[in-house]
Amino acid sequence: MTREKDTPFEPEILAICCKYCAYAAADLAGSMRLDYPANVKVIQVPCTGRVDMIHLLKAIEEGADGVYVAGCLEGECHFLEGNLKTRKKVEAVRKALAQIGMEPDRVQMFNLSSAMGPRFAEIAREMTESIHKLGPSPIAGGTFRAEAANTERQSA
């Protein structure tokens, strides 16, 4: 599905969150009824160390305007070094995007503790603002966007 020209751009952002800290922070943000953009789709992984470069690139290929990985605070990973390894993967993806002419800021990494619900909501807002300034992904119209549109149509 392609984006309509007369519709305002609303970025589609994927947040990949570790189960123990970042996802718990997202849950806390929800429990606290904190506002953050609905265009941020949150998925849970056991540890950010399980996130590979191909997952980040595939999300962009499928039409996500931005992707961020959120894991435990550095030095406090429940799986010891998962978040440190993933930070290197995120940096490699950012370099690859820059090499092909895409904005590297479309992919980010953040570190949170489970008690940082307000920070989770703040990151979601910051990421949305950042991607909004960058504009739509040059790969817009992928299945990520089409699936989101189908979900919206079914819930209407």
Would 5 be classed as within a structural domain? Answer: no
**Residue 62 domain-assigned?**
yes
Query: The tokens 């994927």 sit on which residue?
Result: 14
Q: Write out pLDDT tens, residues 88-147.
A: 999 999 999 999 999 999 999 999 999 999 999 999 999 999 999 999 998 865 544 445
Radius of gyration of the chain (CA): 15
Record the tokens describing residue 120, joined without a space: 């989770």
Number of domains in the chain: 1
Q: Which domain holds residue 130?
A: 13-155
Asked whether the beta carbons of 41 and 93 are under 8 A apart, the reply is: no
CATH of residue 81's domain is 3.40.50
32 assigned to some structural domain: yes
What confidence tier does 156 reach under pLDDT thresholds 50, 70, 90? very low
Indicate whether 63 belongs to any domain. Answer: yes
Task: Indicate whether 2 belongs to any domain.
Answer: no
Strands (E), the chain: 13-18, 40-45, 66-71, 107-111
pLDDT of residue 49: 92
Q: Are 10 and 128 in contact (CB under 8 A)?
A: no
Tens digits of per-residue pLDDT, 48-80? 999 999 999 999 999 999 999 999 998 888 888
The pTM for the full model equals 0.84
